[in-house]
Amino acid sequence: MNFKVGIADTTFSKIDLAPFAMDEITQLISNVKFSRYTVPGVKDLPVATKVLIEKMGCSIVLALGMPGPAPIDKQCAHEASLGLIWTQLLTNKHVIEAFTHEDEASDEKELYEIAVDRTRKHAQNLVKLILKPEELTKDAGMGKRQGHPDAGPIRQGR
């Protein structure tokens, strides 16, 4: 099967995460094609993802963003998330949001590790959504995390 995957990212991000996403996906899917659309900030991602789907023929999109630590950055990230949800509803296509907030880490090394891990794990989830959705079902309730260690399930009697 041939798939076209969209990668939407921003210039605001402090890390170029698209290569990590594309590397992860190409390890899991043969004959995958990519379209990348880079925009200034997270609030521009909804239209970028919609263009990737409707004009560039992508089956699914990974939206990468790195909102800053200020309250306005968190508000902008929330608004972008709502826009990404609307894009999914309007196109009937999945848009996987992989935002890494700058205040998730205590230093740049940790932020880099979180962002790369989250990007790679969301790229894996993207592949599962289009090729192996039953694998996601097997993981339901397992406390899976992207960017941080898995939380694990809550067992009865804990």
CATH code for position 36: 3.40.50.960
DSSP state of 156: T
Q: Is residue 124 part of a domain?
A: yes
Q: Is residue 151 part of a domain?
A: no
Q: Is residue 153 part of a domain?
A: no
Q: Is residue 17 part of a domain?
A: yes
Which whole number is the average pLDDT over 26-55? 96
Q: Is residue 155 part of a domain?
A: no
Range of the domain at 93: 3-138
Q: Is 22:62 a contact under the CB 8 Å cutoff?
A: no
Query: Based on the structure, what is the number of domains in the chain?
Result: 1
Q: Is residue 53 part of a domain?
A: yes
- Name residues whose C-beta falls within 8 Å of residue 156's C-beta, 6 or more positions apart in sequence: none
Predicted confidence band of residue 155 (pLDDT cuts 50, 70, 90):
confident
Q: Is residue 66 part of a domain?
A: yes
**Which pLDDT tens digit goes with each residue over 63-98?**
999 999 999 999 999 999 999 999 999 999 999 999
